[in-house]
Amino acid sequence: MKVLSAFFIFFYALVVQPAYSHDFSFPAFMTLPEKCEEVPLDEIKDICEVYGLNDLWNKIESDPPPKVFKSDGCSLWVDSWRGVNLYPICFFHDLKYWSGRPGEEDERLIADLELMINVMEKGLPIMALVMFVGVRVCGHECLGMPFSWGFGRTSREDKCPLQFHDFVESKN
């Protein structure tokens, strides 16, 4: 069901939405922190308020991740493409991943779909699809990467009872 829902959202964003909106700019209400800059909670609060991310701020405020937030931009990817700045989109995606809690698969899917839609709105539908597939495959919490879901909260050991090295050792 989630795959079907993702397909319809992709179809809507690719085919229907461009017919109604030709403004592919991400709103720049305030200057976002630089790539890899530590962002304190009070600044995260201001950013969430300015961009209307009240639910995200409420989640962070009620249970702040113990690790300091830093966005690495579009993890393992480009921050701009053909003159289009993707960093703001990736910054907000990173903020959602940083504050994610283990097991929140629906919230992760929503964050990834929002990333895809925001990139599509920049006029880059193929890039959007590639990025969506990339974050779905490489952003799972069990991978324990520095950009995985919940990277502000836990270590890999906290997320996955069975590690890759456990699997390899069991095969020997």
* CA–CA dist 65, 70 (Å, integer): 12
- Containing structural domain, residue 151: 2-18+31-171
Domain count, the chain: 1
Distance CA 60, CA 54 (A): 10
CA gap 169, 116 in Å, rounded = 37
What is the predicted pLDDT for the residue at 13?
52
At 168 the pLDDT is: 43
Would the pTM count as exceeding 0.85?
no
Note down pLDDT in tens along the chain; length 172 residues: 555 555 555 555 554 444 333 333 455 678 999 999 999 999 999 999 999 999 999 999 999 999 999 999 999 999 999 999 999 999 999 999 999 999 999 999 999 999 999 999 999 999 999 999 999 999 999 888 899 999 999 765 444 444 444 444 444 4
Domain assignment present for 100: yes
Query: Quick check: is 25 in a domain?
Result: no
Query: Residues 14, 120: contact at Cβ < 8 Å?
Result: yes
SS3 (DSSP) at 163: coil
Q: Is residue 6 part of a domain?
A: yes
pLDDT of residue 7: 56
In a domain, 23, yes or no: no
Determine, yes or no, domain membership for 26.
no
The answer to whether residue 77 sits within a structural domain is yes
User: Which pLDDT belongs to residue 155?
Assistant: 61
Q: Is residue 133 part of a domain?
A: yes
CB within 8 Å of 163: residues ≥ 6 apart:
156, 157
From CA 32, how far away is CA 18, in angstroms rounded?
26
Task: For residue 30, give the nearest of 59, 52, 11, 6 by alpha carbon.
Answer: 52
Q: Considering the domain boundaries, does residue 24 fall inside one?
A: no
